Chain A
């Protein structure tokens, strides 16, 4: 495949999570500079042509995201949320009880919580700070932005 832009678009089309420049470069086998140039071109093109979606930058990666006005319109066609239910429960607990130790979260949510926490950190929703043998977890600005909250207190209220 010779067309970098088409390859990047294809990757963004199927991705369900933000794709980093390194990941795109590794999978598509094009230099990162060429991928970056293609991403810029795609972003400009989508805007120029008034498409209902844009190229968004999230958690250090890129993904195609619907514009807000179209998102509500087609919501019934996309029943699955982009955070799986078990991970969402772990996130809700961290948001509600945070700062909370990883050990406490695991005690409540079980061993699988380790994988959930890793995923939430990767997605930028949770930050972890090492404290002795465990980690202290709390939600990030990105989490607040995602759910349209001002502070974690808004969720606890």
Chain B
């Protein structure tokens, strides 16, 4: 019996959960990939009001399904994996092993073998080299022009105080904010939604995470970043 997942759950579930739900009534050692893909597409058809996160999840699960399918096909198309060799025999052998020998009269197309021909190449002339130089120099000029236009970086990089000082200050602030709580949402560390500040705080947090003072988690796909101060971090903070 298939397990139903609500669209809301699908948006939050990881790909393993989605696959588990869609294959709940299948033998785990003999999953019908074609049926699975059909179910998955059908499922998405039902979900009309997709949240922004669903298409991303669909892509991920779709990629996993395609990979599974390609591995099955590769298995069938010959175990050497290079596509060469006696394809027909390999296919028949794989089919025999998979216990579905082609019926009498079923046509198995032979591997297409393209003729190997000589591709005439000539020497490059000096004129062509000069033309290539003009093109390369024009490209350089264009790049310089583009560089000049973009004087300010798109995301402002924090300047001024040394990074380690800022990270230490943020950690002190974080400890003060805890006040009995175990976690603090990332947005609480921001005074405004300025991209520069977001980048600066995030970099500082990554530094603190690397030092083992905090742990960063994101429970939902593209959801709020949660900052948890570790026991080790608290000990260091008291000192």
A residues neighboring B (CB under 8 Å): 13-14, 16, 71, 74-75, 77-83, 85, 88-93, 95-96, 108-109, 146-149, 155
Contact = CB atoms under 8 A, between A and B. Distances in A.
Contacts of B135: 89
A90 B125 CA distance: 15
Interface string B105-128: 000000000001111111111101
A114 to B, nearest CB: 16
A85 B132 contact: yes
A16 B124 CA distance: 14
The range of chain B's interface size is: 20 to 34
Contacts of B123: 71, 81-82, 146
Contact of A82 (B122, B132, B143): B122
Contact of B118 (A13, A91, A146): A13
Interface in B71-108: none
A65 B125 CA distance: 15
A82 B116 contact: no
Interface string B133-167: 10111011001000000000000000000000000
Contacts of B120: 74, 77-78, 80
A148 B126 contact: yes
A80 B143 CA distance: 28
